[in-house]
Amino acid sequence: MSTLAATQADGFYYPPDWTPEGGSKNSAFKGSNGALGKRANKKSQGLLTIRFEMPFNVRCGACGHTIAKGVRFNAEKKKIGNYHSTPIWSFTMYSACCHQEIEVQTDPANTEYNVAKGAERCVGGQGYEAELPDDLMQMLEYQNDEERTALLANPLAVLERSMNDEKRAKARARSTLELNDLSKARWKEDYLVNKSLRRSMRSQRKEAVALKEYSKSLGLPEHVRLKPEKEEDKQLARRVFTSDAARFDRRRKETRRDILKQSIFASAPSTSGVSGLVRAGSSSAAPKRTSSATSNALRAAKLAKRR
């Protein structure tokens, strides 16, 4: 087989601008990060963008917004040290509520995550020890082998410890039984509980429909939702609209409205209201009628003399 035939059989394709030294100049993969793509843009700084899932509930340190367990972020992963031969990783992300920078670090010594900055842990406080149960803390009470050996050698201490363990177990069983009995008593009459729940929900739906109809009657937009009336709101509105300032403002508006209704040609404008304007208009119109009657009488006398 010739060389040309072997090349065609292998199916290799070389673009026109391909060179053995630099490959193709217009290749889409030239200068890329391979399969990592944009996630490895900061590879030179030791950073890799990964999808990080919050391991517990935290509270944002800037705005106080609660970030629930399981919320995912695009975090920058970076190695910050070692615990023996296990690397310690740091994950830096930004909260969606206020763009607060949050840093979470691994704790290989306690097989736990620690919030380094930007937020605080909601349950159990900041440290891992705050979330440990009481029994586990009591197990860590004796720290060396000598004390543990001395305890096992003392039968009274062993007996006292076993009695404390039995009391603790009985207290747990009692609390568990009480919770179980309370749950059964609460849901024993499931039909009545369901009936009362549906009745309350039905009244809430009726109230919502009534408020919606009242909003339509007032001509309010659909996105404006009225809230149920409360006695505190009524008292507050009553105090606001019956105060001295509101009364003064109302009187000022009424006086201004009466002034705007007056004529600018009136000889003596009255501030007593519309009735004063009517009386002034009637008194000013009377002399005009008498003068017109006198002029008509004089004109008739002149015509009689000419005849």
Average of pLDDT values for 224-231?
84
* DSSP 8-class letter at 56: S
Interval 54-95: pLDDT, tens: 999 999 988 889 999 999 999 999 999 999 999 999 999 999
Is 0.75 topped by the overall pTM?
no
Q: How far apart are CA 291 and CA 285, in angstroms?
A: 11
Closest to 128 (Cα-Cα) out of 141, 143, 113 = 113
67, 55 contact by CB (below 8 A): no
* 46 contacts: CB under 8 Å, gap ≥ 6: 78, 79
Interval 8-48: pLDDT, tens: 566 677 777 777 776 666 655 555 676 787 888 888 888 99
281 in the Ramachandran plot: left (φ > 0), alpha (ψ -120 to 50) or beta? Answer: alpha
Neighbours of 18 (CB within 10 A): 13
Interval 93-105: pLDDT, tens: 999 988 999 999 9
Q: How far apart are CA 141 and CA 82, in angstroms?
A: 28
Run of H or E including 278: helix 274-306
* 220 contacts: CB under 8 Å, gap ≥ 6: 226
Quickly list DSSP for 131-149.
GS-HHHHHHTS--SHHHHH
Q: 3-state SS of the chain: helix, strand, coil percent to 5?
A: 50, 15, 35
CA angle 44, 45, 46 (to 5 degrees): 95
